[in-house]
Structure 1
Amino acid sequence: MKLEKSQKDLLYLLLKQEEEISLTKIQSELHISRRTVYYNVNKLNEFLFGFGIDPVNNRRGEGYYLTEEQKKVIREVIEIEQSVYNLTPDERVQYLVCWLMYPKEKVFIEDIIAAFDISRNSVFNDLKVVKSAIEKYDLSLEFDLKNGYSIAGQVFGKRALLLYYLKMLLKKLSYKSIDFLNAIEVEDFYARLQRISVNMRNEYDDFNLLAIACVLNIVHFVDERFDFSILELRDLEKTDELRMIDQYFEDLNVHERLYLTIHLLGSKASSVIHIESGQKDIQLFELAQHLVELFERQTLVELSEKNELVNSLYMHFKLSMYYYQLSIQISNILLEAVKVNYESLYQLIKSICESIQDEFPFILTDSEVSYITMHFGGHQRKMRSKYYAPIRVLIVCPSGISTSTLLRKEVEDLYANVSVVAATTANNIYQYDGKVDFIVSTIDLDTNIPWIKVNAILEKEDKSKIASMISMNVETYQLNGENLNGLFSVLRKYVDEEQMENLRRDIYEYFRNGHFVVETKENDQLRLGDILTEENIVQINKNITWQEAINIASEPLLITKSITPEYVQAMIDLVEEHGAYIVLKNKIAIAHAKPEEGANRLNVSLLINRKKICFDENIGIHYLFILSSPNPRSHLQILKDISYWTNEEVNLKILLNSNIDELMNFIKKMYQ
């Protein structure tokens, strides 16, 4: 039995719910009638029965739900049942790019219609988007009456885009559901790559290995040659990757083996092959410096070890430049996690990068922006407590400098006294035996040191697991005048010494299996619509200087004592020192100063002037935000919300003559 779209929508809705969902809520979420909900539940139960799965649960007065065991089995079933029929237009474009890059059979309009079950017009629209998407890689969509559709261009460019889009596609579909892939051959290549990974101490991400296996399945039958420079060949010959590939992929020609080596090096971003310094070096270093300076000016967030951040960005840019020169598009598998968990920071970094896009000597993709976000996320200053002894943690994360830096910060941010001793690879952990309290790892380990496995970007459950490990060790209290070293010190009073080690091992195993005893809570950040009130909006129609504008816009915040007069002067001084850096696109500006300059509480005001406020003869604005934030991190979401006003599709001209009610309605709708 196949599920219809509305029934699949209901299933996906139930899968993502952590508790019961009411009939009314289902109607609202899916825009269907009560009768349709009952019908779809019955059809869904028939589908589940066919796989031996219990029907959807319904608790009277609470609503429908699935147990965790049901969800686990259903997700396995869905992977088998996945189909190209329910792909979105963007996902169809990804599928088409991969399909048409090296088509094993001729592809015509009728084949695409049949594959997706869509109209002819939809196919033409999709192909139009495909044509636009591949042009930046110097590729072209070609068609002739005899051979159908295909993508033409340089070999490196074709394979770069193939891997890039395959990774996105594999997040939606199982490789078994993709018609242009041979599942048996993919599994063979994947198994070989996994054996290499085991021999290299699991330093590769499984998802990347699967994507590379899919690429090999598509291209290995194609007779292509690559132009490697002497420098590139010299570097590749030194790597363990090439030695292992020669051993496990004897059936591939030498060019394919060299190319596969480059991709393995790319998926293990922590190991950078030697990159010669050249003319671009100074440009890349200056780009890193400029990016850091712009971030500090626009956010006034204090960065820890700023020089280290500049250097890490510089090294990342060198690697990005190296792969760009080889036309290899390295995709960040953590892209979606970064967008969700660091949404405000990601959007701000994206906005800053796009403002200086011409300075990047390589394509600024979303993956590149996410890597840059991870670097910045790992260098925001945190205050430590002096009252408790530090908990020593080792990070094992082979996914690259940006990932390990961000993971380090996330772990240290959980508690003031967590101290990350180092971030290393699995084969170096023996050096830290006796020097750390436990290990936080993104891969499985074989060690006697207590360890837990987490996601590279911590989810709520990961944070709770780490907090539980900390509770086992942290020295925070006394009993009968004796300092206690966490929970184990208490247990030792009631457990025989010979059983203590077994107890300790079982507890750590309990945590490794995903359980926890301390739960962490996520704090929702305030949005612009939450704090920008009617009283904080000033509307005028006057010829004034930008200094006068800052003073006028600041008045509502001075009245509520959200800021001090010194804060206003500090904002003016910053513009006089650095120029009109506060001006964004769409005639918007955001002025703010450092918290210590006189920011008493989080607040925002807005000045709207029908007459243009000029900073010089070329720069003028109509909208000026004043932002006050005593916490250097709490205002990132507000900055992100304000930056949304700079989007070209947001028509702000209508606000110049709007009344206060219309303004407030506009703001509320914008952040719904």
Structure 2
Amino acid sequence: MEKLKQRQLDILKLFVTSGKPINTQELCEKFDKSERTIHYDVIEIKNFLQKNNIELKMKSKQGYYIPASEKILCVNLVNTTDDKKHIASLYQRKKLSEEILIYLSLKNRAISIEECLQDLAISQSTFIRAVNKINESRKAINIIKCKSGYILGGEEKELRYEIAMLLSSYFEGKTIINEWFDELPYVLRNMFTIDQLIDVSESIKEVNGKYNVWISNKNFLNISSYCLIQTFRKHAHKCVKDEVEDLEEFNYAYDILRKVNHTDTIEAIELSLLVDYMFRNGVITPTEKTLFYSIENDVNNIVDKIESKCKGLGLVLSINELKKDLQLHLSHYLKLEKYNLKFEDVYVTEEIKVKYKNLFEIASQSVNEFENKFNTEMNDTELSYIAIYIYKNILNTKNDLTRVYIVCATGKGLSNLLTTRIKNVFPQLEIVGQTSAFGLSTISEKVDFIISTVDLPEITTPVVKISVILADDDIQRIQGFINFGKTENKYSFQDNKLFYNKKYDPFNLVDINMESEKAELASISGVIAKLTLTLLEYVSMIGEGLSLNSDILLGLVIHMNMAIPRWFEEKETEIDEEVEKGYELIMNHYSEIYRKMEKFFELVEKSLLVTISRKERYAFYMYLLNREEIENEDFN
């Protein structure tokens, strides 16, 4: 077989071990060679890989990379065992202890030290140090040395919990299966396949849809990781009870394991282990049938009170739909109470209490008898959920509404809040349903398009991707699709025709380059924290005359954090006539606000050594002041 030169082999090793694309300039600096020489080397490497059915790809403005699923094949092209180990050792080993734990749990038998060293591509001393560190730091599980080698020890229930949570940490923040595989350490990629990940993911989504189980992105990854571990350890049962209680969670667990293991025969112990893991992660099915039907009269009583109070405000409700929503929600609430699982969502609560104060008060006044009967006291988050259901079921008398479906990766509370805000901003939309991204298999309703906070699998319905906060650019994106999506293809779709004007996700912290020193990152974080507190301090000093709520404050903080990188770019900005007129109006008519905010901008400029343009400053004023009032003000 044709061989590469040593420098070309070294470049190939970089492509294999790098977690990001590498550009030509980086290679020139690394190997102290001209751009022409590096281009020649890359062409040789590309031809070499093509002959072995491996593709070297190029990302515009980023550089060259090898797909994660093909990197393992590259290791096998290296001529010697030492080179193989060298490549493997170049992978980041910051989580070596976690790698060893997951590796031994998947092997599920005693592994000789020689096999461990070969598979993990580490030295014996490194392995021994890591094992000692694990045994010193962990209480529930440990690594035992026996005659046959090394094996993982501990109660199976605790072992699976610990290992599943470790594996889940590799997937954190990812919603696409290929991204899951890309995040796996080198040694684990030999033990899983992308097809396995897809099978587990789709199985859980299907069962979530069947049982109407809403789980967050984090818990979806936790359950998926558990199922991956379970397929390797399903015969490791020691000191575990095998009784199965009469709970719907066991039906849910059975359906997941039946699909993941491709068999209808699931041991009772396996059901118990998964249900225990679910409870520890706060994952339960929405209702128990007996509980659901037992509260029907109580729900009717609550709805009667809500209806009476809403009539006083001139609001007409869809009573039957509200009863269905509350019966499902309150039976789920009582089930959470039964297992002492309480959740609070400050963001949802503050939003509802400020923006939908009347509905929150109606909810609070309507559940007193329910609370007394079941000896419970609903927190503000639960009352906010009820207020959301009231708003959701206020009848809209408009005709010819555009039908949409909402898909969200957050918890049900935030998803309901997002749906409510979309309805509030776009009264011309009829939201026919909403679902978790991790319970989505098919959408039975006929809709014009889908609004989603995450990437979705291959479906035929157009998708508008937004962020969970429904920011200004999200609103513009939805409005753009309403205006042009069905009649004019002024906006381009991706190749799979799913994502409308797909946006960069500002909350995907996982993809941020974290190569900087921790001290530097801590310093930067401190600066941003101080900026945020300073902004809020100056806004609070503006005084009366402004209607400040959590929406405005949240918008200001988010806007500033997104604007900071632009301030450092120091680009020349053209004079904007509209901005100049607006600025003049603010100076003349809102002098107190102008004076204090300008002090804030001057302070930021001196502290960060940046220049904040008038256009950037004007955006802050638009949050603080009524946009229409500014735009319509008579300058004379």
TM-score of the superposed pair, with normalisation by structure 1: 0.45
What TM-score does the superposition give when structure 2 sets the normalisation length? Answer: 0.47
More helix by share: 2
